[in-house]
Every structure is written in C-alpha cells, then in structure tokens.
Amino acid sequence: MAARVAKARLCPKPLIRRALSAFRYNGRPFCRRRTAARVSMSTEREALLRQSIGGYIEPYIGLSLEELGAVRSVRVTEKGVDVSLELPIPASHYGAELAAALKARLSGVAGDSDIRVDVAWNVAAREVRSGLKPIQGIRNIIAVASGKGGVGKSTTAANLALALAREGAAVGLLDADIYGPSQPTMMGLKNERPASPDQRTMIPPVAYGVKVMSIGFLIDEEQPMVWRGPMVTQALVQLLETTRWGDLDYLIVDMPPGTGDTQLTLSQRVPVSGAVIVSTPQDIALLDARKGLRMFQKVEVPVLGIVENMSTHVCSKCGHEEHVFGAGGGRRMAEQYGVPLLAELPLDIRIREQTDSGKPTVVAEPDSQLGRAYLELARRAAGALARAIIAGPAAFPTIRIEDT
C-alpha cells in the first residue's frame, strides 16, 4: 500500500524521470522521490520476507527461526533477495537443505527474484550444573549411554561423532569404557598411541577429523582390567582432563555399560550437557534403558533422546525387513518420557562389518540410507541440545521416572 502511494507521487513525465535518474547530485540520484519510493517498496518486501522466514519452524530444534534469533539479515537488492541466517547447530550439509526449503517457502513473496540464502552456524555451550567446572575449550559433552551392554552404544557413539563432524562441527570422542574399550578399533586407530611431548598431557589421535581418546591406547588389550569403581572414575576424569582436546563443539563420551555406581559418579564428576540413551527393542533392554534415564535425571542432565538400535533386521540377501526383537518399544518409551526418538536403526550386517573394521558407516557410505539415518540422528541430537541451551536449565522438561 505504501509503495502504491509513493509511486503516485513520482515525477510525472516518465521520459523526464528517466533522464533525471541518470544524473547524480552529491553522489545520489537526482530524482529523490523515485528513490524514496524504491526504498519504501523494498522495506515493505523485506518486512514480508522477514516475517515469512521468521515463521519457519526449524525441524531439528523445533522452534521458529524468529524464536531462535537466527535471522541475521534480509535484503532486497536489484539483483534479488539476500537472506543471511545463523543457526545454533552445525550445518555444513544441512545448510543447503534449509536454504532450499526456505527458497520454496519464499517464492510466493519474492516473485521471480533470485533468492540467495546464506546459512552460517555457531554452537553455543550449555551451562553445566553448579559445582562442576566446564572443561576449557569444550562447549558441550554428550554422553552416549545404555542400561545394558552390547546394545550398540559404542557403534552409535562413533557414528554420532562422525556425523556431527560431517556437518562441520569440531568433535572429540572419549571412550569411557575402561573395561572394554572399543573406539581404537572402531575408529581405525588400533595401532595408534597418543603423543605426550611434555609428559603431562596427551595429544589425541585423529580419525576422520575426530579426536579420539581411549584407555585402550594406553593398556594392553589382552590384560583384563581389575579396577574397582573409584579407580575407574579417577582414571577417566584424568583421561578427560589430560587430553589436549583444543576447541570442541561436542565431546561424545562412550559410557561404560550399566547404571551402577561408576556411571553415576562419572555423570556427577564430568560436566555432561546432555545424554543419548541407546537401547535395543527387547523389553529387558528397554527396562534397563529406563534406569539409564533415571540416572541422568538424578544428576540433572537432560536426555536428548533415545536411539532404538537393531530395530529391525534387514536380510542381506533379499532386503526383507523384519522386527525380530519386537516393534515400537523405543518410540513408546520416548513418548512416555516426553523425549525425542532420535533414530530407529536396523540390525544390518553392513553396520557391524564397517564399524568393526575401523571405518564406521558414516564414513564408509555417508550417502546411503544407513549413513543418512546416522546424520539425521546427529542433527536431532544437536537440535535437542540447542533447544535445551535456549530453554535454560529450569525450562527443559523434567523426566519423571516411575519405579520399574
């Protein structure tokens, strides 16, 4: 409307107007009214575009771009529309997908103008509980835990770390399973050892862009560990604190199995920002996973979501998919506790072969259906953490757990 009024006041004769517009007075177009009209038109379009962009619900975080404060600028120029965003989750690949979704959304408002969407990102740090001091340079620690052993916790932790790195984040992976460290093998670092030039701190070996630290680098694998609880905690805290992680957006911690004292002390001693619970669909595993949830609740760590691993079995010969361990358990549990279901991963021989041979699925076949499932899991976990950071400690939904 404002644009139409301004247009009516333009220089009356188009020919004169065109001639005058070529002149410059003090570097500005001679015909000021015309400029004023243009400015008012583009401001109005910018406002409309900004409104439309701001109303877009970012699917992984579950908040609108406006609520996220993600819209840095919207500019209408003669060349088209320039949108600049800043997300709180890593988006090296996701950025292009988000840009495409926004372009489709804006096409009605922007007409046939060219739309360019620039997506930058910056991961914030979650404030840790009082009494715990954050580790310098590490913005967020994500614990990957399960109640039961052998459910695929280490496999999930490795692929989660790699998927976050694939999205451009600076990632570390700490193997906290003192009794059965598996990350050196899974990350293809079996023969590596951390360097320690100053004899006090350790430089972590790097696999596929992820910094990895594990007790497995320091001990003889054949030697059974006979440490008691307090020694384990002590060793882990030391491993965490003496590693030169540098600047990390996320440190993924592959927790030891179980929900006993060691895990509890660890969660109390390590400034964890959020936890991912892995479970297989059997009732017994889900029961143990519930205990894992309860443990994190005790230490006020938000549960970012549940991963149902070995959800279905995919036959390597015919591709037939079957719910060998029952269906929908992870989903039901996620609904019951009001936390996201981050992924339902099939029992697939490729996951086992790739992970156990030192090249996890995310690097072995990043664009396959399985690779995409891990990428999606990483985006959802990062999104849930970003949401927890925005909501602040008190506002994050408390997880209530009934006695099992």
Ligand X SMILES: Nc1ncnc2c1ncn2[C@@H]1O[C@H](COP(=O)(O)OP(=O)(O)OP(=O)(O)O)[C@@H](O)[C@H]1O
Mark 147-176 as b/e (b = at least 16 C-beta within 10 Å). bbeebbbbbbbbbbbbbbbbbbbbbbbbbb
Instruction: Tell me the closest approach of the beta carbon of residue 129 to ligand X, in angstroms.
Output: 26
Binding-site string for Mg ion from residue 127 to residue 166, where x marks contact by CB under 5 A and - marks none? --------------------------xx------------
Instruction: Tell me the closest approach of the beta carbon of residue 163 to Mg ion, in angstroms.
Output: 18
The candidate with the shortest Cα–Cα distance to 305, out of 249, 363, 382, is 382
CA–CA separation, 30 vs 181, rounded Å? 74
| Single-letter residue type at 160 | L
Which of positions 296-335 make contact with ligand X (CB under 6 A)?
A: 309-310
Taking CB under 6 A as the criterion, the residue among 110, 174, 334, 351 binding ligand X is 351
Instruction: Tell me the closest approach of the beta carbon of residue 305 to ligand X, in angstroms.
Output: 17
Instruction: Tell me the closest approach of the beta carbon of residue 270 to Mg ion, in angstroms.
Output: 17
Copy the structure tokens of residue 252: 């993924």
> Could you tell me where the beta strands, DSSP code E, fall in 295-397?
303-308, 313-314, 321-322, 341-344
Residue 150 in the binding site for ligand X (CB under 6 A): yes
Stretch that binds Mg ion, among 125-133, 171-179, 368-376, 395-403 (CB under 5 A): 171-179
If you write DSSP's letter for every residue of 331-398 in order, what string do you get? Answer: HHHHHHHT--EEEE--B-HHHHHHHHTT--HHHHSTTSHHHHHHHHHHHHHHHHHHHHHHHHHHHSPP
If you write DSSP's letter for every residue of 91-127 in order, what string do you get? Answer: -TTHHHHHHHHHHHHHHHHHTTS-EEEEEEE-PPPPP
Residue 344 in the binding site for ligand X (CB under 6 A): no
The candidate with the shortest Cα–Cα distance to 240, out of 393, 399, 329, 134, is 134
Instruction: Tell me the closest approach of the beta carbon of residue 213 to ligand X, in angstroms.
Output: 16
Taking CB under 6 A as the criterion, the residue among 146, 159, 259, 267 binding ligand X is 146
Instruction: Tell me the closest approach of the beta carbon of residue 159 to ligand X, in angstroms.
Output: 9
Binding-site string for ligand X from residue 242 to residue 261, where x marks contact by CB under 6 A and - marks none? ---------------x----
Residue 214 in the binding site for Mg ion (CB under 5 A): no
Residue 178 in the binding site for ligand X (CB under 6 A): no
Residue 263 in the binding site for Mg ion (CB under 5 A): no
Residue 163 in the binding site for ligand X (CB under 6 A): no
Stretch that binds ligand X, among 104-112, 194-202, 234-242, 345-353 (CB under 6 A): 345-353
Q: By CB under 6 A, how many residues form the interface with ligand X?
A: 21
Other beta carbons less than 10 A from residue 282's beta carbon: 16
Taking CB under 6 A as the criterion, the residue among 347, 364, 377, 382 binding ligand X is 347
Instruction: Tell me the closest approach of the beta carbon of residue 354 to Mg ion, in angstroms.
Output: 16
User: Is residue 155 a contact partner of residue 265, using CB atoms and an 8 Å limit?
Assistant: no
Residue 358 in the binding site for ligand X (CB under 6 A): no
The candidate with the shortest Cα–Cα distance to 93, out of 62, 60, 124, is 60
Instruction: Tell me the closest approach of the beta carbon of residue 352 to Mg ion, in angstroms.
Output: 13
Residue 355 in the binding site for ligand X (CB under 6 A): yes
CA–CA separation, 149 vs 10, rounded Å? 76
Match 């479970």 to its residue by tokens: 279
Q: By CB under 5 A, how many residues form the interface with Mg ion?
A: 4
User: Is residue 55 a contact partner of residue 66, using CB atoms and an 8 Å limit?
Assistant: yes
Copy the structure tokens of residue 232: 């384990």
Residue 309 in the binding site for Mg ion (CB under 5 A): no
Residue 291 in the binding site for ligand X (CB under 6 A): no
Residue 345 in the binding site for ligand X (CB under 6 A): yes
Q: What share of the chain is helix, strand, coil (3-state, %, to 5)?
A: 40, 20, 40
Instruction: Tell me the closest approach of the beta carbon of residue 82 to ligand X, in angstroms.
Output: 43
User: Is residue 365 a contact partner of residue 318, using CB atoms and an 8 Å limit?
Assistant: no
User: Is residue 181 a contact partner of residue 311, using CB atoms and an 8 Å limit?
Assistant: no
Instruction: Tell me the closest approach of the beta carbon of residue 223 to Mg ion, in angstroms.
Output: 18
User: Is residue 194 a contact partner of residue 205, using CB atoms and an 8 Å limit?
Assistant: yes
232 binds, among Mg ion, ligand X, none (CB under 5 to 8 A by kind): none
Taking CB under 6 A as the criterion, the residue among 185, 271, 348, 374 binding ligand X is 348
Copy the structure tokens of residue 66: 């406006």
Binding positions for ligand X, rule: CB under 6 A: 146, 149-155, 177, 180, 182, 257, 309-310, 345, 347-348, 351-352, 355-356
Binding positions for Mg ion, rule: CB under 5 A: 153-154, 177, 182
